[in-house]
Structure formats: structure tokens, C-alpha cells
Chains A and B, each alone.
Chain A
Amino acid sequence: MATRIITYRDALREALREEMRRDERVFLMGEDIADPFGSAYKVTLGLSPEFGLERVRQTPISELGFVGAGVGAALTGMRPVVELMYIDFSTLAMDQIVNQAAKIRYMSGGQAKVPLVIRTQGGMGRSSAAHHAQSLEAWFVHVPGLLVAMPSTPYDAKGLLKTAIRLDDPVIFIEHKLLYNTEGPVPEEEYTIPFGVADVKREGTDCTVVATSRTVLMALKAAEILEKEGISVEVVDPRTLFPLDIETIVQSVKKTSRLVVAHEAPERCGFGAEVVAQIAEKAFAYLDAPIQRVCGPSVPAPFARHLENSIIVDEQKIADRVRRLVRGEL
């Protein structure tokens, strides 16, 4: 299969373009998404000239309104992809996401379908402070009725977004602001990635690290550091947080007997807590050491670069914890 190296941003744009060409019901809606601005992180740049302003629909700053409109359109035959510029802004639209989009299928006894994708992005690393840098994925994973994807690579971003658009369930599709410029191989040919299938990003034998989004890249760097020290790390990326492919994680833990869960979001009741609980239930007997979490501290994101850097989960923090775990120090 022929591949090219493209950015995460370009991979997402390809997914949108291909799905909009494939299905006339697919349209985009959100703030500042049309050219020449082309959205805050330029994912939709170049789409409005091809598809027009009806299908690349700019909205006023009205998150409750346009997310709600996405729900209504999805309920009646369209397949909207709504962009929430920052995941922090999802709070403004929470009623429509949690009470309407997520629940109407159940409340209606299975009559309703909500083929809605809410694309958004989160994460620290740009000194954007407490209202533009959160990682709120756990909220959405907690709500029955929502699917949550969190790709870490251009390949996953494209394949998962195409799948998200084709699914008839509401999807919260969470990108990371520091991933847009990252590059990776993406096939020329069309492909999709199913939800609920984790990807072992690196095989190893001494410790499993389950990481999400940008923290996957940090875990891979940590694995390289530790490899030089003779410690073999397996990195598992769930790719979709719900549905969660716990089986792949269980298999990995059976092999390595150690588990570290790493993510940028605050530790308390974070997504990692769910992985930890499920492994404690399903693979406790295979563990040789206590499960570890390497997560953000439960504080708001600070502005100053040195403060922000001090709390971001990076390769050193992951490597330190894995090293101590494997050495039996924890």
C-alpha cells in the first residue's frame, strides 16, 4: 500500500474531504471554519472553496445553539460534523451533548439515531491557560450514549474520523492541539479504523504503558529511553476510550505483568482510573506490581510556560515511573 508522510492536520482534513465527497449529507458547522481563516487549527482550511458555505457552515459564537442544531440535523437525516474550537467550550453546550444527543435514542426506545460528530481539541503546551488547555475526555466517557475517540497519530486520526462520520451514534472526537503539526505515514488508498480496537504502538515485555492522545508519543519516547537501560516497554493506545478495547490491554498485562496508565488529564477520576479498575478486575492475578498512574495533577492548567511544563506528563515522568516499577521500588 502506497503511503505518504503527512501531518495530523492534513490527515483530518483528508478524512473530512473524502467523507463530504462520498456523502452529501455530511456537512461541517462551527466557528470560523471557512476560508480564509480555515478554523483555529486550520483543519478545515481549503474545504469551503470546494464544498461551499452551506456545507462548511460558519456559526456565530453560540456553542449551545450550533451543537443543538447539530443534534437536530442529525436526528432528521443529515450527518453533521460540528467543531467545538476548544474542548473547554463544551461546557456551554453540555445540555445538548449530555441530555439530548446522548440520550434521545434510549429515551425514544430506539427510534432515534444521532449521526453527529463533535470534533474538538484539548490539551496543554501552548501557554493557553485554564480555559483553553483542558483534557475533559473522562466526562464524555462517563455519559452513556456517547462514543469517544482520541487519536494520537495521523493514520489513526484519518481512519477514526472517517469511521466516526459513518457511525449513526454521536461521537466526541478529541484531537490535541500539539499533535496537528506531527507527521506520520498515511496510505494513499482509502481506509477506515473501527472503533473499539486498540493499537499496540510498540511491543515490549517488561511493562505495559496505556496512554492516550499526545501522551502516547511521550510513552513511545520513554520506551526508547528505557530500551537503552534494558527495560522493554509495550505501549498500548486504546484510540477510542469508549468503546474501550480492554482485551488488548489485558493481553498486554498478561505478557508484561506490570501496568502504567498515562494521560495528560487530571488524575482524579480520569480515564486512567477506568483502565486501572478494569485491569484490577480482569487481570489482577497477572500483576507483579501495583498499577501506576502517571497523569496530570488535579489542578487547572497554568499559564506560564515553566509552570505548564512542570505538570505536563512527559517522557521523563513516564520513564521514571516505569523504571522504578520494573526495579521493584514501588
Chain B
Amino acid sequence: MSDKAQGAPEAPPEDLTRDQLLAMYRRMRLIRAFEDKTKALFEAGEIFGFYHLSQGQEAVPVGTCAALRPDDYITSTHRGHGDVIAKGCDVRYMFAELYGRATGYCKGKGGSMHIADFSQGIIGATGIVGGSLPTAPGIALSIKMRGTDQVVVCFFGDGATAGGGFHEALNLSSLWQVPIIFVCQNNQYALSLPWEQTAYKCDLARRVSTYHIPAECVDGMDVLAVYRAVKKAVDRARAGGGPGFVEAKTYRFLGHYVGDPGLYMPPEEREEWRKRDAIQKLGRQLRQWGILTDEEDEQMGLEIARELEEAVEFARQSPLTDVREALTDVYVHFDYLGNPL
């Protein structure tokens, strides 16, 4: 299928530089490759735990985080590898985390579902669906009370929109007019439950707009569409305009976790969404705009593969977290038994 047939514009976008576009493309590819590698390592028995992969959704975190500054915050979810890589996490320390190493972001205490890097505003990922929805407005409130011009992006999935925390977070954010952007990664499934069975006549943007929060629904398989919608909301929030909401319609190519074949996802549906792969789409556009050649594209793939190999090797060579660490970091001022530190 040609790009023209898909309606891609002839000229490159004016709101992003060539380097920015290439960086977004590379970041999406890095996320995809990181998760492919993670899946392979898990299936080989090298790493342990639960892995909720986000293949197919890469455009949403990459488009979103391209609109953020390094000092902005994000909160993430159990399916958060892409979110934290998009915000700036280094895959070496991520693999080290999955390998339970002392060099991991959380020293092996958080694992796949809880990667955090406070130095980059990555305020953790939660294993509770919707768990960061009530927390994030408090980050935004803190920004407002401290008087900075940061913003916070709260990532969550369609599965979190039926819970009470969703309503409470929207209501408080609207009431307080704080700089938060809710980004719903609607990947069509809450574990196995199709989106159509989550709410009657699902129209999130319409529902959210009743809180007087500007809300937009975008194609989550188009990184530029995600970027533009989030950028608009970020600019508004940064200027004191209060919260924003973006629903990005996307798709989880794989099952809920590694090991779930996704039998509830119709094969023809999966095939349709795979044809809309955001990485391939941007790759085609970049070539069309003369920003990327096939050779450069291939070279980038090799670089990413090498980066991941090196990251895995870094993790393997790093020391395991000392078992005594299992008992630390419970409190700031006390050990886990309550003795003052």
C-alpha cells in the first residue's frame, strides 16, 4: 500500500524538526525491540515475573513524551515499559531491574510493573489498574502550589475508565484547574474484556468533556497525531489553562501478559490493526519526506539491536542485589523493624 493511498502528506510536518522525527521513530523502535527482547528472555527462563507488553501502542507514549520537558512528570501502569522508555529510561538499568540486579532502577525491588526514575520525573508505575489516577492530580496540585510551570501526564488504559478513581481524578483536577494531562491508551481490551463491554456507547472524550476538561480522541497508531493533541494540552496546562485529556485509540498486538495467547482477540481484527502499525507508518512517512533511507533504517535497527544486546549484557554482568536489600527502603527514618536509622 502506498503512502499516498493512506493519505500521508507530501511535505514533512513543520512543527517538528528532522531530528525530532527521527528520535521519535527510533524511540518507538527501541520500545518494540526492548519488549521483543524481554519476551524472548522471559520465554528462555532468564528473567522472571509477569510481563505485560505494549507492542502496538508505542506511538502513544512516544508521541506524548515528545511533547514533554525533562522536568515534567509521568505516572505509568503495569504495561509501562514504553511509557518509561519514552520519558527517558535507559534500557540498561531497565534490564538490570528485570534481572534483579543492584544496578536496576529499583534495585530489583520493583520489576517490570514498577520502574521508576524520580530524577527524570518518572513517578513510578502501578500494578493496580487505575492506581495512579488519584495520585497524579496531587502531583499537579504540587506543581501549582510550588508555582513551577511543569506538567504531569497520567497514563492509564481503557480498563481504568470504569473505576471510581477515574471520576474522582477528573473531578478534582477540573475543580482545582491543575496542570495534568490524562492520556488514555485505549488498546481495546481490559485484559480480555473488549472496550465495547466496558461502557455503554463508549465515547470517552464526550464523557470527560462534561467535567469541563478539553478532551480529544486521536488515532493512537499515528505518533504525530498523538504528539499534536498532547502538545496542545501540555501548552494549555503549562500556561495555567488546567487539565487536558487525550484518548489515543491503539491496539495491544499481543495478549495481556507473556503467556496469554489472546484467544479473545479475533484474528482478523488483529490483522487489521497490525496493518496500521505506527512504527511502519512513520517509517514510510520518513522515507517519503526524504528524512530516512532504507539503509539508514536498517542501520538504525542494527544499532538498536546492539544497544539492547549491550544492555542485556550489562544486566547479566551486574551484581545481584544483596539479599539484605530485601529488608531495606521500607521507611526513610526507620528500619523495617522500627529501629531508628
Which A residues lie within 8 Å of B339 (CB)?
A: 196, 243
Residue from the list A60, A100, A108, A167 in contact with B332, Cβ < 8 A: A167
In the complex, which range does the number of interface residues on chain B fall in?
35 or more
A-B CB pair tally, cutoff 8 Å: 164
Which A residues lie within 8 Å of B135 (CB)?
A: 68-69, 71-72, 75, 96, 100
Which B residues lie within 8 Å of A96 (CB)?
A: 131, 134-135
Does B59 touch A at the CB level, under 8 Å? no
Chosen A-B contacts, 21 in total, with CB atoms closer than 8 Å, are A64-B164, A65-B165, A67-B134, A68-B165, A69-B135, A72-B138, A72-B152, A75-B139, A78-B146, A99-B126, A100-B128, A100-B132, A104-B124, A106-B109, A106-B330, A107-B116, A110-B329, A145-B330, A169-B331, A169-B333, A244-B338
Q: Are A73 and B124 in contact (CB under 8 A)?
A: no
Does A113 touch B at the CB level, under 8 Å? yes
Does B114 touch A at the CB level, under 8 Å? yes
CB closest chain-A residue, reference B133: A68
Q: Are A100 and B126 in contact (CB under 8 A)?
A: yes
CB closest chain-B residue, reference A145: B330
Does B264 touch A at the CB level, under 8 Å? no
Which A residues lie within 8 Å of B136 (CB)?
A: 72
Q: Which of A241-281 contact B (CB under 8 A)?
A: 242-244
Q: Which of B128-182 contact A (CB under 8 A)?
A: 128, 131-143, 145-146, 152, 164-165, 168-169, 171-172, 175
Residue from the list A74, A109, A111, A242 in contact with B338, Cβ < 8 A: A242
Distance in Å from the Cβ of B147 to the closest Cβ of chain A? 11
Q: Are B338 and A65 in contact (CB under 8 A)?
A: no
Q: Complex formed: what's the CA distance from A77 to B152 in Å?
A: 14
Q: Are B138 and A71 in contact (CB under 8 A)?
A: yes
Which A residues lie within 8 Å of B124 (CB)?
A: 104, 107-108, 112
Does A151 touch B at the CB level, under 8 Å? no
Q: Complex formed: what's the CA distance from A106 to B135 in Å?
A: 17
Q: Are A65 and B107 in contact (CB under 8 A)?
A: no
Q: Complex formed: what's the CA distance from A104 to B175 in Å?
A: 27
Decide: A68 near B106, CB < 8 A? Known: A110-B329, A244-B338: no
Q: Are A62 and B172 in contact (CB under 8 A)?
A: yes
Q: Which of B85-118 contact A (CB under 8 A)?
A: 104-110, 114, 116-118
Q: Which 6 A-B pairs have the closest CB atoms?
A: A68-B134, A72-B138, A243-B338, A65-B168, A69-B138, A109-B106
Given A72-B138, A76-B139, A104-B124, output 14 extra A-B contacts at Cβ < 8 Å.
Answer: A59-B172, A64-B168, A66-B172, A68-B134, A69-B135, A69-B137, A72-B135, A73-B138, A73-B142, A145-B330, A145-B331, A167-B333, A195-B334, A243-B340
